[in-house]
Structure 1
Amino acid sequence: MMAHMMGTSTKEVAFVTGGASGIGRATVEKLACDGFHVVVVDRNADAVEATVAHLSGLGLSATGAAVDVCDRQAICDTLDAQQRVDVVVCAAGIYTPRHFDEIDDEAFRRTLDVNLLGVFIIAQEGARRMAPGGRIVTVSSRGALGGRGFADYVASKAGVIGLTRAMAIELRAKQISVNSIAPGFTDTPMTRTMPADQYAAAVALEPSGAAAAPSDIAHAIAFFASADTRFITGQTLFVDGGKSLGGLGI
């Protein structure tokens, strides 16, 4: 667990999984700028430390925890290290391009573990610690609509959308909102692991001819993380430059 950087007694506390890179890192910076104390949750200890140091250097309030999202006890310890839990953002995820007939059971389970079980664990434990008015934001994907070359990822993200709706129904009596952001193709370290020609081909399919920036997604996450939008629940917002609308002639 990283050292506490600034007092949080008067600040709402937001936990962001996958918070040390890509969309997660952009989200922790946005939420910290919005006045939250942010807890950066990521399995990469060096990246967590660097992210917390960066935020601290900007005069923002942050701590970090190097844990695996599938480790329930570590997640509980991370949540309990703070005086309050106001927001949980579930941004951790993995993606490995594979053709359908190349995905084995182990790979499929690992994708579901990180992308779906990892969301369930911190959302469930976070909700148990939230007062009325708490907010949970999951990160699904436009990929939940389907696609080729990543069936395990599609299944996991479709599961996140279903889980989001189910949690919203069960938690509305506690006045805890649960919503999902479904990003389109975004320029992140994860997508940059694609071969250059595949990355370029994916970008070419975007209506704007460009991938989203992580900050584009972070601003949408911050919308649902705000106390001002707590009356919205069970919704999935596609942030994909309009590609999910279709009508592109491709």
Structure 2
Amino acid sequence: MTKLMNKIAVVTGAAQGIGAKIVERLLEDGAKVVALDINFEKLEETISNLDKSGEKVFFMKCNVIDQAEVNDVFETVYDRLGRVDILINNAGITRDAFFHKMTHEQWSTVLDVNLNSIFFTCQAVIPAMRAQEYGKIVNISSTSSWGNMGQANYSASKAGVIGLTRTLAKENGIKNITVNAIAPGQIDTEMTKDLPENIKMMAQLLTPAGRMGKPSEVASVVSFLSSDDSSYVNGECICVSGGYLMP
């Protein structure tokens, strides 16, 4: 497939799970990809398996909660590749606890990684996207944005992602920039592997599909939103949850 031929994409949280599958899918679609993650060793391992030539994927360590570091990384991207056409904000963490036991560190760390990082990366690319009058931004939210026990921090951050997405869509649509979100449900990744079995079983029972999702199924929607097939889709949040959440 070549629907993203000659496009330059940046993916955060690219070392494993959904992020790695997004990189793989964008490569299949013909894009050149810049893969970012704070876990450089895992990132290097993942990318070496996806692109043995080293010509289609560039990877860099990036702490997405450090705005100065984010700006430096994107300056390098622009110097090396000239532009960014697609930005996929996938970096995310959990620090679960019931609210009455949640520490400020648990709260602020999740908000920093899941929401503030998107502020930093979008500020790094939107001025140039407006100048070139083209851009595709996809932000990974979650079905937890509708609320989930033990995840006040995570739910708040992912709800914030949707609000930010819709605002950026309204502000930049006139410049041929689309900004959309995806809300995955229970996806079989490293993040969900440590969940108690009874919690995973309950989620599957409540999901009409009767199973957990695969990272590749999220990546397929990213592919659509990153391409011109979605040219009139803007400000949307698409649930990829097997019917678990039907807003």
TM-score w.r.t. length of structure 1: 0.89
Q: Does 1:87 align with 2:86?
A: yes
Paired residues of 1:192 and 1:199 also in contact (CA < 8 A)? no
Q: Identity over the aligned pairs, expressed in percent?
A: 38
1:21 to 2, 16, 25: 16
Question: Any unmatched runs of 5+ in structure 2?
Answer: none
CA contact (8 A) 1:180 1:235 kept: yes
Q: Which amino acid aligns with 2:64?
A: V
Q: Does residue 41 in structure 1 map to residue 40 in structure 2?
A: no
For residues 12 and 77 of structure 1, what CA distance do their matches in structure 2 show? 21
Partner of 1:241: 242
- Secondary structure in 2 matching 1:85: coil
Q: Secondary structure at the match of 2:203?
A: helix
Matches within 5 A, 1:43-192: 43-57=38-52, 61-81=56-76, 82-130=81-129, 131-192=132-193
Q: CA deviation at 1:59?
A: 8.0
Unaligned runs of 5+ in 1: 1-9
What whole-Å deviation, never above 9, does each CA across 1:60-119 have from its counterpart, x for those lacking one? 710101111112222222222231100000000001321121111111111110000011
Q: Which moved more, 1:70-79 or 1:83-92?
A: 70-79
Counterpart CA distance in 1 for 2:122 and 2:16 is 20
Q: Are the equivalent residues in 2 in contact too, given 1:75–1:122 (CA < 8 A)?
A: yes
User: How far off its partner does 1:231 sit?
Assistant: 2.6
Cα distance, 1:228 vs structure 2: 2.8
Q: CA deviation at 1:52?
A: 1.8
- SS of aligned partner of 2:245: helix
Mean Cα deviation higher: 120-129 or 41-50: 120-129
Amino acid at match of 1:179: N
Moved over 4 A (4+): none
- The match for 2:233 is 232
Conservation of the 8 A alpha-carbon contact between 2:169 and 2:177: yes
User: C-alpha distance in 2, partners of 1:88/1:154?
Assistant: 22
**Alpha-carbon offset, residue 198 of structure 1:** 2.9
